[in-house]
């Protein structure tokens, strides 16, 4: 029995992808549901494999099937391929099972030859079009099938243009194209030793063979190797009749979306041009009409089109992006696919499709691109506004802001309090600048990475920040900054976009965050299916409140260092650091205790009944002192003034700064190492936390306290500190005359913690991955240094597809996490495990967290909705994969 190598579009369907290739199956599917698709047939992938089996020959059997299909097609269309009066023209396209850009290009207008081109000219009453079409066909065929270099054709066109002293293709007339055609045909003969084939059937067979061969060309092989596509799939070949929108006033072409891709509104949205080809729409020479105007031009066609839109949405269960052509009053659908859309539209369409009964809630959840939601959660630059950035820094804290440039934080405060909007511009910020950041609309720094002081503080406050914008050169003395030739002075208005890192001169139109009803609906559905809890990182009662409003189910990371940095506490903290003895240190700490206690009471109260993870002090102490260079300047000024007492204090401080300075602070005296060397600091913090908890408990407020020890790499670090925490707790409970339950856990943020998680779990009630630090140590990348200088090169050179600080590196960092989860739960099967790095709000990372069985993710308050959605998507994907 002979095999069926050729399928008419009438015979296939979407399920026959592996036989018909992606494109062939899709075309057949469209025919199947009754769309007016330009008809044609598909030569199967099996035919391609057979071609190779037969030493690159088309078998007799296959040949007769192809001609039979052509015969059927000609009969159906009432035209003959390459007929001299009204020629049937076809396209030939490759169609692999998995789309492969490395393969053959399309051949259009096949069937034209020196005679049939005249028929086309007559039928379209457009000689220029006919000859242009013919020369395009020769060019494609000559290049793709006969392997003549592309330049050869280009230089022929150039020579004709030169002769005619014209520069644009559009200036070429029918005669010119005829001349080009003659030169093309001669050149092909000269280069290949073969005539350009005039027989349409020969053209067809040669094209089919060329597609088969392209399966094994170098580009395709490399593409398959890189993308791990098997070599033995073969490609199908699609032969489809050409339709022309430029055959007169009853012809036309257009593109349309079944719904508005920008707003999601349920109304057809698109445009068309009469008596034109698709490329005319793209070229923009004539202004297209809105799709609604088609109602007036061709009411029947319009009605048919609207019906097709409804049909397509119903069939594909999604908003469609449709290309169509009208040839002599007949509508053809050339292509339909799911339409690209904005985040806002995605949300609206998903919810409405559920309401229309076309998709279910889980499908709706999967339809919303979680990563794009961020744009809806912050004030942003109106996407319709034309803005030109003068510089680009790091997108350190999302959202957009405009304001008057101010360089000095004190001045920012003054002007800000007068009601002016300001953007604080600094080389970098320090804790001394906090009051300036608080009042500013946004912050722009020329130095520092995504974890710089400015970035962290701004993110915490939900304020836009662009950091490390090295292109701007700040001159504090002159009160201006420069970018190339542009000078921006104090008081000038600039805008910054913390989501893109762009800096713009002047004010730009902004859009406020849109938390539409549909958005809330999707999130509600997401909450129903997700298993991963979502918490927020928040350091203040205000942040905690925002987090709650965004749906956070607890606080996964409350950093205590930001409390230390507040202007009213910093002097006490500095006094503590400057202490020579433990006693002095304890004295300073005792002043901090009631303040810290108040901090915690505030947060616990907001989060009543929900868990709050408080991390004990993490950063190196020198972060709380001024930097050495600033001190040197101050000291020389004081020397000049002769203020001996203040001078001495500053000199002492400089000495301490020097003593505390480290080669690699990221890997230095910080985290639990501080707690082990200066236990009195952690003891104060634990007291403050538990006194706060006791106080509220007495008042009937439920508090769930999780005390977190950072940067543990060895079980004994945690064990030792756990004992100290427990001793302290017992003392507090004795003093307070009451007890509260609390948990002690650890950040898992060092490779060694993952590798020895089974030991560390013995002393831990919970684990929380700190994937920022874990990524730094696993890759050996300092985020501050790599993000600006190294990672962009890596992404550009395709060594990495994304910065691992943005998208969690599953192979390296992820495998350590998986190991830690397994080892930890081996010891304690119900160990609570979460993640509190910034990955906790990035969809792909959230998916991974779900996959390895974490209990919660924690992210900045504004990303909580993203995490909720991503967690739901992960759960659904997992279910669907089973």
> Which residues would be at the binding site for a copy of itself (CB under 8 A)?
449, 662-669, 673, 676-677, 711, 713-714, 716-717, 720, 749-752, 755-756, 759, 773, 776-782, 784-786, 789-790, 793-794, 797-800, 809, 811-813, 815-816
CB-nearer residue toward a copy of itself: 284 or 780: 780
Is residue 23 within 8 Å of 238, Cβ to Cβ? yes
CB-nearer residue toward a copy of itself: 285 or 633: 633
Which helix (H) or strand (E) covers residue 493, if one does? Answer: strand 493-497
Closest separation in Å from C-beta 634 to a copy of itself: 16
Q: Residue for token digits 């030939």?
A: 92
CB-nearer residue toward a copy of itself: 604 or 781: 781
Closest separation in Å from C-beta 508 to a copy of itself: 31
Closest separation in Å from C-beta 752 to a copy of itself: 4
CB-nearer residue toward a copy of itself: 329 or 751: 751
CB-nearer residue toward a copy of itself: 518 or 759: 759
SS3 511: strand
Closest separation in Å from C-beta 673 to a copy of itself: 5
SS3 24: helix
**Is 836 known to be catalytic?**
yes
CB-nearer residue toward a copy of itself: 597 or 756: 756
Closest separation in Å from C-beta 740 to a copy of itself: 29
Give the C-alpha distances (Å, rounded to integers) separating 369 from 157, 471, 635, 844: 46, 33, 55, 11
Neighbour count for residue 115 (Cβ, 10 Å): 13
Closest separation in Å from C-beta 768 to a copy of itself: 16
Q: Residue for token digits 């035209």?
A: 79
CB-nearer residue toward a copy of itself: 537 or 756: 756
Q: What are phi and psi of 3, to 5 degrees?
A: -85, 150
Task: Give the C-alpha separation, 710 to 708, whole Å.
Answer: 6
Residues 244-266 as b or e (16 or more Cβ within 10 Å = b): bbbbbeebbbbbbbbbbbeebeb
CB-nearer residue toward a copy of itself: 1 or 677: 677
Closest separation in Å from C-beta 761 to a copy of itself: 14
- Residue 495 burial by Cβ neighbours in a 10 Å radius (0-12, 13-18, 19+): buried
CB-nearer residue toward a copy of itself: 375 or 778: 778
Task: Give the C-alpha separation, 767 to 856, whole Å.
Answer: 10
Closest separation in Å from C-beta 786 to a copy of itself: 7
Neighbour count for residue 499 (Cβ, 10 Å): 21
Closest separation in Å from C-beta 681 to a copy of itself: 15
Neighbour count for residue 754 (Cβ, 10 Å): 26
Neighbour count for residue 702 (Cβ, 10 Å): 13
Closest separation in Å from C-beta 735 to a copy of itself: 27
Task: Give the C-alpha separation, 481 to 476, whole Å.
Answer: 8
The one catalytic residue among 378, 453, 839, 850 = 453
Listed in sequence order, the residues at least 6 apart from 781 whose beta carbon sits closer than 8 Å to its beta carbon are 775, 790, 791, 804, 805
The one catalytic residue among 465, 754, 836, 859 = 836
- Give the helix ranges, DSSP H, for 358-485: 361-367, 374-377, 409-417, 434-439, 453-461
Closest separation in Å from C-beta 539 to a copy of itself: 22
Is residue 625 within 8 Å of 720, Cβ to Cβ? no
Q: What are phi and psi of 195, to 5 degrees?
A: -75, 150
Neighbour count for residue 213 (Cβ, 10 Å): 20
Is residue 339 within 8 Å of 258, Cβ to Cβ? yes
Task: Give the C-alpha separation, 842 to 349, whole Å.
Answer: 23
CB-nearer residue toward a copy of itself: 698 or 793: 793
Is residue 203 within 8 Å of 188, Cβ to Cβ? no
Closest separation in Å from C-beta 779 to a copy of itself: 5
SS3 744: strand
**Is 793 known to be catalytic?**
no
CB-nearer residue toward a copy of itself: 218 or 384: 218
CB-nearer residue toward a copy of itself: 12 or 448: 448
User: How do 252-257 and 856-859 pair as beta strands?
Assistant: unpaired
Task: Give the C-alpha separation, 753 to 258, whole Å.
Answer: 53
Beta strands in 596-647 (DSSP E): 611-615
Closest separation in Å from C-beta 666 to a copy of itself: 4
Lateral strand order in the sheet of 330-338: 289-290, 269-274, 252-257, 320-327, 330-338
Q: Which two tokens stand for residue 550?
A: 């965004």
Rg (CA), the chain: 34
Is residue 635 within 8 Å of 654, Cβ to Cβ? yes
Is residue 648 within 8 Å of 741, Cβ to Cβ? no
SS3 345: helix
- DSSP for 859-882, please give it: E-GGGHHHHHHHHHHHHHHHHHH-
Q: What's the CA dihedral at 692, 693, 695, 697 to 10 degrees?
A: 160
CB-nearer residue toward a copy of itself: 273 or 813: 813
Q: Which residue numbers are catalytic?
A: 453, 836
């Amino acid at each position: 029995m002979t095999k069926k190598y050729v399928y008419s579009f009438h015979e296939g369907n979407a399920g026959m992808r592996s036989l018909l290739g992606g494109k062939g199956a899709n075309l057949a599917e469209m025919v199947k549901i009754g769309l007016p698709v330009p008809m044609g047939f598909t030569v199967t992938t099996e035919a391609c494999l057979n071609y190779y089996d037969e030493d690159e020959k088309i078998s007799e059997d296959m040949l007769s099937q192809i001609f039979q299909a052509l015969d059927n097609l000609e009969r159906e269309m009432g035209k003959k391929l390459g007929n001299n009066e009204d020629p049937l023209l076809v396209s030939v396209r490759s169609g692999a099972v998995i789309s492969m850009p490395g393969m053959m290009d399309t051949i259009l207008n096949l069937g034209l030859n020196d005679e049939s081109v005249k028929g086309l000219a007559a039928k379209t009453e457009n000689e220029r079009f006919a000859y242009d079409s013919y020369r395009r066909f020769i060019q494609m065929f000559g290049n793709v099938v006969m392997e003549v270099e592309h330049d050869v054709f280009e230089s022929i066109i150039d020579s004709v243009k030169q002769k005619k002293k014209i520069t644009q293709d559009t200036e070429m007339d029918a005669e010119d194209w005829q001349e080009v055609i003659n030169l093309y045909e001669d050149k092909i003969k000269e280069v290949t030793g073969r005539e350009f084939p005039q027989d349409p059937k020969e053209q067809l067979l040669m094209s089919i063979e060329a597609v088969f061969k392209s399966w094994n060309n170098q580009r395709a092989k490399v593409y398959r190797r890189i993308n791990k596509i098997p070599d033995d799939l073969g490609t199908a070949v699609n032969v489809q009749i050409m339709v022309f929108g430029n055959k007169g006033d009853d012809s036309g072409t257009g593109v349309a979306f079944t719904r508005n891709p920008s707003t999601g509104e349920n109304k057809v949205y698109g445009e068309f041009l009469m008596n034109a080809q698709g490329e005319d729409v793209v070229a923009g020479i004539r202004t297209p009409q809105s799709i609604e105007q088609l109602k007036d031009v061709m009411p029947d066609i319009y009605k048919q089109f609207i019906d097709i839109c409804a049909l397509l949405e119903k069939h594909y269960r999604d908003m469609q992006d449709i290309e169509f052509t009208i040839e002599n009053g007949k509508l053809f659908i050339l292509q339909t696919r799911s339409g690209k859309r904005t985040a806002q539209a995605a949300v609206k369409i998903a919810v409405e499709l559920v309401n229309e009964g076309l998709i279910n809630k889980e499908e709706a959840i999967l339809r919303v691109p979680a990563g794009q939601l961020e744009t809806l959660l912050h004030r942003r630059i109106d996407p319709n506004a034309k803005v030109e950035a003068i510089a680009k820094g790091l997108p350190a804290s999302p959202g957009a802001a405009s304001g008057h440039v101010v360089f000095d934080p004190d001045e920012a405060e003054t002007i800000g309090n007068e009601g002016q909007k300001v953007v604080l511009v600094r080389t970098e910020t320090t804790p001394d600048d906090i009051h300036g950041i608080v009042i500013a609309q946004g912050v722009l720094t020329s130095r520092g990475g995504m974890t710089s002081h400015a970035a962290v503080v701004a993110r915490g406050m939900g304020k836009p920040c662009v950091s490390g914008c090295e292109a701007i050169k700040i001159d504090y003395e002159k009160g201006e900054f420069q970018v190339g030739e542009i000078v921006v002075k104090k008081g000038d208005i600039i805008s910054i976009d913390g989501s893109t890192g762009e800096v713009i001169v002047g004010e730009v139109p902004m859009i406020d965050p849109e938390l539409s009803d549909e958005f809330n609906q999707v999130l509600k559905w997401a909450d129903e299916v997700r298993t991963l809890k979502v918490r927020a990182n928040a350091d203040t009662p205000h942040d905690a409140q925002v987090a709650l409003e965004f749906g956070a189910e607890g606080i996964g990371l409350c950093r205590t260092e930001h409390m230390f940095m507040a202007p009213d506490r910093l002097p006490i903290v500095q006094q503590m650091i400057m202490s020579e003895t433990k006693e002095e240190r304890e004295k300073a700490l005792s002043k901090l205790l009631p303040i810290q206690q108040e901090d915690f009471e505030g947060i616990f109260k907001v989060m009543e009944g929900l868990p709050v993870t408080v991390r004990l002090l993490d950063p190196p102490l020198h972060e709380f002192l001024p930097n050495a260079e600033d001190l040197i300047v101050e000291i020389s000024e004081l020397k000049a003034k002769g203020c001996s007492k203040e001078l001495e204090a500053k000199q002492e401080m400089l000495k301490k700064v020097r003593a505390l300075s480290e080669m690699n602070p990221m890997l230095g005296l910080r985290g639990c190492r501080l707690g082990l060397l200066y236990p009195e600091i952690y003891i104060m913090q634990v007291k403050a936390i538990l006194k706060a908890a006791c106080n509220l408990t007495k008042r009937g407020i439920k508090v769930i306290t999780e005390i977190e020890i950072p940067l543990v790499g060895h079980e004994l670090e945690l064990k030792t500190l756990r004992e100290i925490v427990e001793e302290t707790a017992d003392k507090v409970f004795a003093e307070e005359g009451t007890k509260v339950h609390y948990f002690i856990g650890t950040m898992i943020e060092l490779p060694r913690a993952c590798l020895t998680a089974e030991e560390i779990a013995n002393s831990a009630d919970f684990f929380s991955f700190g994937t920022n630090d874990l990524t730094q140590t696993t890759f050996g990348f300092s985020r501050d240094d790599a993000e600006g200088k190294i990672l962009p090169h890596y992404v550009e050179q395709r060594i990495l597809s994304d910065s691992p600080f943005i998208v969690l590196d599953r192979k390296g960092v992820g495998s350590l996490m998986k190991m830690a989860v397994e080892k930890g739960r081996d010891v304690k099967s119900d160990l609570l495990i979460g993640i509190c790095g910034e990955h906790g709000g990035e969809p792909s990372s959230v998916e991974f967290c779900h996959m390895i069985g974490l209990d919660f993710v924690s992210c900045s308050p504004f990303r909580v909705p993203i995490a909720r959605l991503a967690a739901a998507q992960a759960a659904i994907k997992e279910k669907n994969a089973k």
